[in-house]
A and B are shown apart, each in its own frame.
Chain A
Amino acid sequence: MSNTTMAVTSTNTGARVKRGIFKTLEYLALLLACFIALLPIISSFMTSFKTGEEYGTTNAMTPPANWFNFDNYVQVWTEGNMLEAFLTSASVVIVVVAVSVMMGSMLAYVLNRFRFPGNGLIRNLFMIATLIPGIAMQVTNYQIMRDLGFLNSIVGYMILMSGTDVISIYIFLQYFENLDGALDESAVLEGCTYFGVFFKILLPLTKPAIITVAVLKGVGVYNEYYNANLYLQSNTWKTISTALYSFSGPFKSSYNIICAGVLLTLIPSLLVFLIFQKHVYAGLASGSVKG
């Protein structure tokens, strides 16, 4: 009798020890992964507070002598024209997000609420478009942008960025599928126009989908650099990405200054992420379902 109880407790402690080791390993793995995820950013962060001399003499992983030395930030902000770049990027983000939200929700409304010849065709055209890798078409897109007079045009860049988006349409389509049709039906019976139904009743109800699309699209456009480099080559319109890209000219070997610029560009993404974290995660998931 006592032997069996002994055996049971010993296996229990054995299991508990095994559990403990397992748990420790899991935490270690997580901490290591987070260290790797943060290390490149943290090293840039530390470097951004170093003076030019300090940067030249100390190791990259040595913390700065003065954590409140914002000279590099001031210099990159003024000499790198970052205010202008932020304003340009902000206007691109606002316009593109507004256009994408409007286009996506309107098209999703029409596709979801009306049966008409061509409904299936439109859905298929968007589906097939997801299969054609956008990257392969950069070559001929350039010619179209040139023919339209959109080289070095901020409006052209905004139109291009708004025009090539399928995910926001899917997010809205999914959302409309779960919105009860009886609602707009009864509004129409009471004499409301379809425009009225969409703008006054449905659009306010899609607020969660709007936030998701706005955050995903906004961050995507804010970080976009390939098209910005290609189509906004003159100095008139520099987005954050192209402004950052041009830093390698004037600040070539002063990585302490460049790091300050890099950190400044991260702030908006970080803020949006901290505020809308749930929407970012949910948006990724719903955008991926249709693939």
Chain B
Amino acid sequence: MSITRAVQPDLRKKRVNWQKVAVILLFAIVPMFLLILFTYIPFIKMIQFSFYNMSYTKNRGFVGLDNYLKVFSKSEYVGAMLLSLYYMAGAVVQLSLALLFASILSLERIRGAGIYKAILFFPFLVNGIAIGYIFKYFYTRGFVLDSVLQAIGIPLEKLPYWLRDQSVNNWSLVFTSVWKYCGQNMVLFIGAIASIDPTLYEAATIDGANRWEQFKAIILPGIKTVFMLNLILSITGSLSAFEPAYVVGSMGANGTATFFIKIHQMAHVSGKVGMACAMAMVLMVLILIFTVLQRLFFRYVMRDSDNTFNAKANQAKALW
């Protein structure tokens, strides 16, 4: 039996070789074609176009680095870039809240934990345009938010116009993003916490460690991977933020136009495709720099992750 098994695969290999080639070609060709068509060709074109003064229909010639120089010299674009700082601040709040609720829901005996989880997660599934309407209504003067704030005793005259007043409107938009993505981050954290060995908490509880000590010594090391991943996603997401400003902020009105909104307008409203491509290139390079930096940092922190984790866990067990 074992002999025939050993011999047969060799025979089979020679006989069905062409069938194998056919399967590989047939099964891989369509996804590869689409990947090249919608990712790599646009990518190469984007690099090329960024050096031209052109629209979708006309090409007015090669301009070298002019487009790039404009991106960095006009305060309009630099300002749009700086708007992503609001979204990064929002991302920090979002991740902290997500982690807090994930720990409460997975570590404490909460009655109806599944329902809380579902409610907090649901905003992630709401249609983007619907979010636009819901929050325009939410922020309208004297409507939902103002009514709630008045109910807790803040007079209407003291409240700003949430979407018009430039001192608050970017925060209003950031809030819609936190509202949408917090529950999704929380679900990812809950998944990571669930994969931690439960005997670690038992040992810790028996030895009288308090909640904060448990969190620091067991949970944080255990969810490091997912945490870093969420961080990378939210920071790159902040750099390319557009959804809140696009749907809630009426396409970036009143000083809420993020860099991506500017790219969109440059290409599809002003028709300056070369300029838009240069901006997109800058955005991409920034995102790549952030991703690489974070991966390096991540590798540095995780350089001997398994060992550290086990060592820390054992150390923790020994200490308590």
A263 to chain B, nearest CB (A): 9
Supply 14 further A-B pairs (C-beta < 8 A) apart from A137-B43, A159-B34, A285-B187.
A23-B108, A34-B119, A37-B123, A40-B137, A110-B23, A125-B35, A132-B43, A138-B280, A163-B34, A163-B38, A188-B12, A194-B19, A222-B127, A272-B125
A225, CB-defined interface residue at 8 Å: yes
Stretch of B76-84, B197-205, B225-233, B306-314 lying at the A interface: B225-233
Q: A137-B46, A223-B127, A225-B127 are in contact. Are A41 and B134 (CB under 8 A)?
A: yes
The reply to whether A103 and B30 form a contact with Cβ atoms under 8 Å apart is yes
A13 to chain B, nearest CB (A): 17
Partner of B28, one of A29, A122, A137, A285: A122
B299, CB-defined interface residue at 8 Å: no
* B interface with A by C-beta (< 8 Å): 8, 12, 16, 19-20, 23-24, 26-28, 30-32, 34-35, 37-43, 45-46, 49, 56, 97, 100-101, 104-105, 108, 110, 116, 118-123, 125-130, 133-135, 137-138, 140, 142-144, 147-148, 151, 179, 183-184, 187-188, 190-192, 211, 226, 229, 232-233, 236, 240, 242, 246-247, 260, 263-264, 267-268, 273, 276-277, 280-281, 283-284, 287-288, 291
The reply to whether B129 and A39 form a contact with Cβ atoms under 8 Å apart is no
Q: A61-B144, A270-B122 are in contact. Are A110 and B28 (CB under 8 A)?
A: yes
Q: In which size bucket is the chain A interface?
A: 35 or more
Interface of A is mostly: helix
State the CA gap A109–B110 with chains docked (Å): 42
State the CA gap A51–B242 with chains docked (Å): 34
The reply to whether A137 and B147 form a contact with Cβ atoms under 8 Å apart is no
A77, CB-defined interface residue at 8 Å: no
Can you name 28 A-B pairs with beta carbons within 8 Å?
A: A23-B108, A26-B110, A30-B105, A39-B144, A40-B144, A41-B126, A60-B137, A61-B151, A114-B23, A122-B28, A122-B32, A132-B39, A135-B242, A136-B284, A142-B56, A162-B34, A194-B20, A198-B23, A223-B127, A224-B128, A241-B127, A242-B129, A244-B130, A247-B133, A270-B125, A282-B191, A291-B232, A291-B233
The reply to whether B267 and A142 form a contact with Cβ atoms under 8 Å apart is yes
Closest to A262 in B: B130
Closest to B107 in A: A26
Partner of B137, one of A44, A139, A141: A44
A68, CB-defined interface residue at 8 Å: no
State the CA gap A22–B121 with chains docked (Å): 24
State the CA gap A132–B281 with chains docked (Å): 10
A9, CB-defined interface residue at 8 Å: no
Q: What are the residues of chain A within 8 A of B104 when measuring CB–CB?
A: 26, 29-30
The reply to whether B127 and A163 form a contact with Cβ atoms under 8 Å apart is no
Partner of B283, one of A104, A136, A188, A241: A136
The reply to whether A137 and B42 form a contact with Cβ atoms under 8 Å apart is yes
The reply to whether B133 and A258 form a contact with Cβ atoms under 8 Å apart is yes
State the CA gap A159–B38 with chains docked (Å): 10
A131, CB-defined interface residue at 8 Å: yes
The reply to whether A262 and B134 form a contact with Cβ atoms under 8 Å apart is yes
B113 to chain A, nearest CB (A): 9
State the CA gap A106–B24 with chains docked (Å): 9
Q: Mark A275-291, 1 if CB is under 8 A from B, else 0.
A: 00100111011001001
Q: A110-B23, A277-B118 are in contact. Are A285 and B188 (CB under 8 A)?
A: yes
A129, CB-defined interface residue at 8 Å: yes
The reply to whether A39 and B42 form a contact with Cβ atoms under 8 Å apart is no
Closest to A285 in B: B191
